[in-house]
């Protein structure tokens, strides 16, 4: 039986790699050792796993590799160095290495800690679509190392297998309930702005509530890395009135429950917006910064509506009553295709 070492750190990576665990188990060909970062362990708490920090030393990765002696390394692409330290050792020791990409941006940054040249890598990279592959090749990644598989996590949630077990329905009417998925603007590339996008959004919702004479409830869900909330709190206080109820989600509130109990989900560009579409929620992306062509296409495929951050444009969009319907079977095959790449690397098929 082959030994597979799975390592992931941040939530996005945890989602894509953990989506393959059951598929790998089904083959009966693998013993798996799982190492998860703090923000990813929620996805593997039903499995046996060990914790790993975002930043680790080369010697720590060497120690784990030596102890497990894996036939194949399967990693995501977290922002820390942990996953890359394992890939560096795999490169030196000629251990098969599979990387599962989780989102449509920042390709080179994901190999920031590599000790080998991108053009000479041995990693095989599973990517979501041909647009991503073309962008990565333009960034200097070798064509032969990039394999279009689809997105294993989106395959899982869009095709309704055990979709979000444990979600709590509030049993309240969802009408006019809006969830705003906040992110630190500097993380998504916005470093200079006159008016915060949240303020423009709340201006549009205020107008909508007045035109319709209806109460709107807005829940703001801060990003896990978003610590400085004072600006958002000041903005939200300005727009609280009889027709707009605004609250901040508590740190412990699960984003999936918040999505489930909302009529409309609005944000910038995160995997949670795809999760919202998997639940057939109306989902709107605020176009605050230029994104890759691949990400734009992916959002459009999922039915995420994109709007410029302008009060009138947002108002007109929200005033429309019909959301985009989900295309049946989109993203189907992502898990199966990724597992096939792993089997091919080990000559097991």
pTM to 2 decimal places: 0.91
Tell whether the model's pLDDT for residue 171 goes beyond 70. Answer: no
Cα–Cα distance between 18 and 100 in angstroms, integer? 10
Tell whether the model's pLDDT for residue 326 goes beyond 90. Answer: no
Predicted pLDDT of residue 163: 52
Task: Please tell me the least confidently modeled range out of 91-105, 119-133, 136-150, 219-233.
Answer: 219-233
Predicted pLDDT of residue 174: 87
Structure tokens at 66: 């030596």
Fold match flag (2-153+332-345 vs 177-319): yes
Q: 250 φ, ψ to 5°? A: -70, 155
Pairing state of beta strands 177-181 and 264-267? Answer: parallel
Predicted pLDDT of residue 172: 63
β-bridge partners, 69: none
H helix intervals, the chain: 11-18, 21-27, 58-68, 82-93, 130-138, 152-158, 197-212, 230-239, 255-260, 271-278, 293-302, 311-319, 334-345
Q: What is the tens place of the pLDDT at every residue in 242-258?
A: 999 999 998 888 898 99
Residues 266-276 have a mean pLDDT of 94
Predicted pLDDT of residue 79: 86
Q: What is the tens place of the pLDDT at every residue in 23-40?
A: 999 999 999 999 999 989
Residues 313-334 have a mean pLDDT of 85
Comparing 305 with 322, the larger pLDDT belongs to: 305
Cα separation values, 84 from 31, 42, 116, 246, Å:
22, 22, 10, 41
- CATH of span 177-319: 3.40.50.2000
Predicted pLDDT of residue 323: 67
Predicted pLDDT of residue 170: 52
Residues 263-288 have a mean pLDDT of 94
Mean of the per-residue pLDDT values of the chain = 92
CB within 8 Å of 207: residues ≥ 6 apart: 311, 315
**CA 201 to chain CA mean position, Å:** 23
- Give CA torsion, residues 57, 183, 225, 14, to 10 deg: -50
Percent of the chain with pLDDT strictly greater than 70: 95
Residues 122-130 have a mean pLDDT of 98
Cα–Cα distance between 80 and 108 in angstroms, integer? 14
Predicted pLDDT of residue 169: 55
β-bridge partners, 98: 74, 124
Domain 2-153+332-345 has CATH 3.40.50.2000: yes
Ordered by start, the domain boundaries in the chain are 2-153+332-345, 177-319
Comparing 164 with 127, the larger pLDDT belongs to: 127
Comparing 65 with 168, the larger pLDDT belongs to: 65
């Amino acid at each position: 039986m082959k030994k597979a070492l799975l390592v992931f750190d941040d939530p996005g990576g945890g989602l894509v790699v953990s989506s393959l665990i059951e598929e790998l188990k089904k083959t009966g060909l693998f013993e798996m050792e799982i190492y998860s970062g703090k923000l990813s362990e929620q996805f593997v708490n039903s499995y046996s796993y060990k914790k790993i920090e975002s930043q680790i030393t080369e010697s720590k990765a060497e120690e784990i590799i030596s102890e497990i002696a894996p036939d194949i390394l399967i990693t995501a692409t977290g922002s820390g160095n942990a996953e890359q330290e394992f890939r560096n050792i795999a490169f030196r020791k000629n251990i098969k290495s599979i990387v599962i990409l989780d989102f449509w941006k920042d390709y080179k940054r994901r190999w920031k800690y590599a000790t080998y040249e991108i053009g000479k890598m041995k990693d095989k990279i599973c990517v979501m679509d041909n647009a991503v592959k073309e962008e990565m090749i333009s960034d200097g990644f070798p064509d032969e190392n990039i394999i279009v598989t689809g997105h294993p996590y989106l395959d899982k949630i869009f095709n309704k297998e055990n979709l979000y077990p444990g979600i709590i329905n509030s049993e309240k009417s969802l009408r006019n309930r809006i969830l705003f998925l906040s992110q630190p603007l500097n993380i998504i590339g916005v470093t200079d702005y006159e008016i915060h996008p949240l303020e423009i959004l709340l201006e549009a919702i205020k107008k909508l509530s007045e035109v319709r004479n209806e109460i709107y409830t807005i829940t703001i869900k801060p990003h896990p890395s978003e610590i400085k909330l004072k600006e958002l709190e000041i903005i939200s206080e300005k727009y609280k009135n009889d027709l707009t109820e605004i609250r901040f989600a508590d740190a412990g509130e699960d984003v999936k429950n918040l999505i489930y109990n909302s009529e409309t989900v609005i944000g910038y560009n995160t995997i949670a917006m795809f999760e919202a579409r998997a639940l057939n929620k109306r989902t709107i992306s605020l176009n605050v910064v230029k994104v890759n062509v691949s990400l734009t296409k992916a959002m459009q495929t999922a039915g995420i509506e994109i709007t410029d951050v302008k009060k009138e444009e947002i108002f007109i969009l929200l005033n429309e009553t019909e959301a985009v319907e989900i295309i049946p079977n989109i993203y189907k095959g992502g898990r199966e295709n990724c597992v096939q790449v792993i089997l091919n690397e080990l000559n097991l098929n």
